[in-house]
Amino acid sequence: MFHGGILSKLRGFYKWYVLGLVSVGYILGELGHYLIGTTSKVTADDLHYGDKSCMLNATHLHLSQLPVICEKVNSSEICESLSLNGTYYCEWGYNGLGIDYQVLAGPAFMAVFTVVGVILGVVADKYNRARILSVCTVVFVVAILMMGSVNEYWHLVILRMIMAAGESGCNPLATGILTDLFPEHQRALVLSIFNWGIYGGYGIAFPVGRYVPILNAWGLSWRLCYYSAGIVGLVIAALTLLTLREPERTTIGEEGTGKPTDGVESGKKMPQVTIWHVIAQPRIILLCLAASIRHCGGMTFAYNADLYYRDYFPDVDLGWWLFAVTVGIGSVGVVVGGVISDKFVSRMGVRSRVLVLAVSQLIATLPAFGSVIFGPLWAMITLAFSYFFAEMWFGIVFAILVEIVPLSVRSTTVGVFLFVMNNVGGNLPILVDPVSKAIGYREAVMIFYAGFYGISSILFFLTMFFMDGAVEKPEEKTNGLDNSAYIQDETRHRPIQDARL
């Protein structure tokens, strides 16, 4: 009895350990993903890619003191001739922007990320997810480590593609594992915490990308950012490989019933619900479209925030402010969104999760515009307010998805969902470059960032009206079994105790 009590407690802690482990791994993967945005200026200067422009090189000077603003000069000769009291305060060089950067940050990563993500989603429905996730972690960690050693632009492109292949498995694989480990009344919170890894990695990239290159420790400059992340990642990869175990697969809506639900583990065949039958549902299509538009808004800000604030406020160091807002305020928003969603769903069903999505993104839209329009102080204040509500979305979206999709195609559906969402949301920000050259950088960021927040809110609201009861059933029965035994009933949203505790 004594040993049994200890083992029971350890099992209870294990699922939280898994949440922590896969979340830290995801943070490191996203840190590697977004470092290009915060190191792009120094990286471009070293590897010679992207656009050149006139930039302030004397940070002790205030913009109001300058007779001519550097960023308004389009000639290298005029740029380098500007002076104040005998001090040449401008320099002509690589600014980290341009189509080369946008391709490197977006399509080069997303092209592989989305395709491999779907493949791994299909594989995860049939094979051991824990082992596949361990291999994926090793792949993206090694790629991040090697990115610190590149000497050519195309080296960086290839390694970002390899990193994308490894990281693409993190979300569908970890989402499936966490969904099977945690009961319904904790699921949105757990998935919100995990998916905060995107914003955790992105937020940490601000101080790492801004301040580590300045130290130039051992003469490594920006390369040390990737080496450091890679070394920490190797530890996480080792722990994932050695300690992560495949949990019993659970059909949502049947938790705690004692029914055998895992056709893979038990050897019993599950009803065959095709992936096409699932993704063709209007609610899945609308949810995916809304998520894609919202993702574009987030990716636009992620890829351009550091460069935008450096460009418009070159005399103000906002690195730590951006870190505090994205990691601090964003993390609170993620948790609050998960808690609110879990509370509502226990009483009102899955529609309530979509309502939380629509309202949170609507509230986040106006202050998102403010974070682009205002000066440094109010930009950070409005960004903090926007981030609190905006970051509620990701975990809730995937909590909705796993609750309306049958077990037999869950990981595949997540993979397809991510494929579409990342192709649309991850590649649309490339339009920032041509649009900025047509109407201005600030205006382009405003459209694709804050504007797309507002559009996603409308689409989430429309999606709510398509969230009917259970997953639609195929017309036929398989092996004489009624498919309804395996299809989640969304009318039974109540707190459920985990039978494994």
pLDDT of residue 481: 35
Q: Which amino acid is at 399?
A: A
Q: In the prediction, which pLDDT does 37 show?
A: 86
Nearest to 310 by CA among 38, 60, 74: 38
Structural domain boundaries in the chain:
2-51+95-486, 53-92
Residue pair 389/361 in contact by the 8 Å Cβ criterion: yes
* Cβ neighbourhood burial of 402 (10 Å; 0-12, 13-18, 19+): buried
Does this model's pTM top 0.85? no
- In three-state form (DSSP H/G/I as H, E/B as E, the rest C), the secondary structure along 282-321 is HHHHHHHHHHHHHHHHHHHHHHHHHHHHHHHCCCCCCHHH
The residue ranges of the chain whose pLDDT is under 70 are 1-12, 58-61, 188, 250-273, 337-338, 341-349, 395, 468-501
**Do the Cβ atoms of 414 and 399 come closer than 8 Å?**
no
Provide the phi-psi class of 279: left if phi over 0, else alpha when psi is between -120 and 50, else beta. alpha
**Residue 470 vs residues 154, 183, 409, 462: alpha-carbon distances, Å:** 48, 18, 15, 19
Task: Give the tens place of pLDDT for each residue, 435-457.
Answer: 998 898 899 999 999 999 999 99
Q: Which pLDDT belongs to residue 235?
A: 95
Backbone dihedral angles phi then psi of residue 243, each to the nearest 5 degrees: -115, -15
Segment 363-394, tens digit of pLDDT: 999 999 999 999 999 999 999 999 888 877 87
Q: Can you name the CATH fold of 2-51+95-486?
A: Growth Hormone; Chain: A; (1.20.1250)
Q: Using an 8 Å Cβ cutoff, are 177 and 301 in contact?
A: no
Under DSSP, is residue 94 helix (H, G, I), strand (E, B) or coil? strand
With H, G, I as helix, E, B as strand and everything else as coil, classify residue 55.
strand
The pLDDT of residue 346 is 57
Residue 378: its pLDDT value, please?
Answer: 94
Extended strands (E) in 209-312: none
